[in-house]
C-alpha cells in the first residue's frame, strides 16, 4: 500500500531502512527502485522528494557519519590516552556490527570541491576531530596526527571489514583478537609520539 505523506525526510528514513536490511552491502546496493518499493510507490514518484540516487546516498551518509561521531564522542568523554583510543575503536566496531550497511556509508569520503558535499565535509571533519582529540592525548605533534588517524582508522576498519565478511572462521576468540589489535594500535601510536619527542623534552619536560 502506498505511503501517504512522503517527504524528503521520509524518503531518507526509508532509504536507511533499505540499507539496514541489506546488511554489509546494503549501502552499495541502495537504489531508488528499492526505496520506491519500500514506500509502495513508483520510482519516478521519488523525484518529487529527492534529486537523484547520489543525493539520497549523500543524505544516508550524513546520518551514518553523525551517528558514528556521536558514538565515538560519548565513549571518549572523560577518557584520555590509551583508554580513550580503546573506547573509540570499540565504539566503531560495535556500530559496524550493529549497522553494517550504515557503517559502509561512513567510509565514503566527501568530494573536497563539490558544493553539494559541503554538509558532508563538515560532518566528516567533525568525525575526524574526535579521533584527533583522542590521539592528542598521546602527545603526538600536529605533523603526525593525520598519519596516526589514518593508521588507526585503517587498522580498525580492516578488522571490522574482515569480521563482517566472515573472514575470521578459526576457533580462536575474535574479541580477544580485537583486543590484541587495540594493544598494537596503542603501542604504535605511543611509539610514534616518542619518536617525535625531542630528547631535551624527554629529559627536562620542557624546551630550554
Q: What is the pLDDT of residue 183?
A: 97
Ranges 81-90, 103-112, 172-181, 189-198: which has the least confidence: 189-198
pLDDT digits (tens, 9 = 90+) for 67-125: 999 999 999 999 999 999 999 999 999 999 999 999 999 988 888 889 989 999 999 99
Q: What is the pLDDT of residue 110?
A: 87
* DSSP H stretches of helix in 43-172: 53-76, 81-98, 100-106, 118-136, 142-164
- Residue 25's pLDDT band, with cuts at 50, 70 and 90, is very high
Specify the length of the chain in residues: 208
| 8-state DSSP, 3 | P
Question: What does the buried/exposed string (b/e) look like for 7-35 if buried means 16 or more CB atoms within 10 Å of the residue's CB?
Answer: eeeebbbbbbbbbeebebebbeebebebb
Mean pLDDT, residues 168-192: 93
Question: What does the buried/exposed string (b/e) look like for 57-68 if buried means 16 or more CB atoms within 10 Å of the residue's CB?
Answer: bbbbbbbbbebb
Q: What is the pLDDT of residue 207?
A: 38
pLDDT at 201 over 60: no
Rounded distance between C-alpha atoms, residue 89 and residue 101, angstroms? 18
Are the C-beta atoms of 1 and 40 separated by less than 8 Å? yes
Question: pTM of the predicted model, to two decimals?
Answer: 0.86
Residue of higher predicted confidence among 2 and 31: 31
Residue of higher predicted confidence among 170 and 154: 154
pLDDT at 173 over 80: yes
The mean of the pLDDT values for the chain is 90
Q: Tell how far CA 22 is from the center of its chain.
A: 18
pLDDT digits (tens, 9 = 90+) for 33-61: 999 999 999 999 999 999 999 999 999 99
Q: Tell how far CA 118 is from the center of its chain.
A: 18
Mean pLDDT, residues 19-44: 95
- Residue 21's pLDDT band, with cuts at 50, 70 and 90, is very high
Q: What is the pLDDT of residue 108?
A: 84
pLDDT at 203 over 60: no
Amino acid at each position: 500500500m502506498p505511503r501517504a505523506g512522503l517527504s524528503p525526510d521520509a524518503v531518507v528514513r526509508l532509504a536507511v531502512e533499505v540499507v539496514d536490511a541489506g546488511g554489509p552491502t546494503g549501502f552499495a546496493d541502495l537504489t531508488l527502485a528499492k526505496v520506491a518499493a519500500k514506500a509502495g510507490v513508483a520510482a519516478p514518484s521519488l523525484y518529487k522528494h529527492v534529486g537523484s540516487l547520489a543525493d539520497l546516498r549523500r543524505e544516508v551518509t550524513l546520518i551514518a557519519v553523525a551517528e558514528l561521531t556521536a558514538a565515538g564522542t560519548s565513549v571518549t568523554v572523560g577518557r584520555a590516552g590509551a583508554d580513550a583510543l580503546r573506547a573509540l575503536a570499540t565504539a566503531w566496531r560495535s556500530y559496524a556490527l550493529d549497522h553494517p550497511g550504515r557503517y559502509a556509508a561512513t567510509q565514503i569520503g566527501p568530494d573536497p570541491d563539490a558544493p553539494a558535499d559541503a554538509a558532508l565535509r563538515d560532518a566528516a571533519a567533525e568525525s575526524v576531530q574526535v579521533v584527533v582529540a583522542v590521539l592528542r592525548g598521546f602527545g603526538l605533534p600536529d605533523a603526525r596526527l593525520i598519519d596516526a588517524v589514518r593508521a588507526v582508522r585503517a587498522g580498525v576498519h580492516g578488522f571490522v571489514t574482515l569480521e563482517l565478511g566472515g573472514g575470521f572462521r578459526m576457533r580462536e576468540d575474535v574479541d580477544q583478537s580485537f583486543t590484541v589489535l587495540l594493544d598494537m594500535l596503542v603501542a604504535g601510536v605511543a611509539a610514534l609520539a616518542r619518536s617525535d619527542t625531542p630528547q631535551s623534552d624527554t629529559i627536562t619536560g620542557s624546551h630550554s
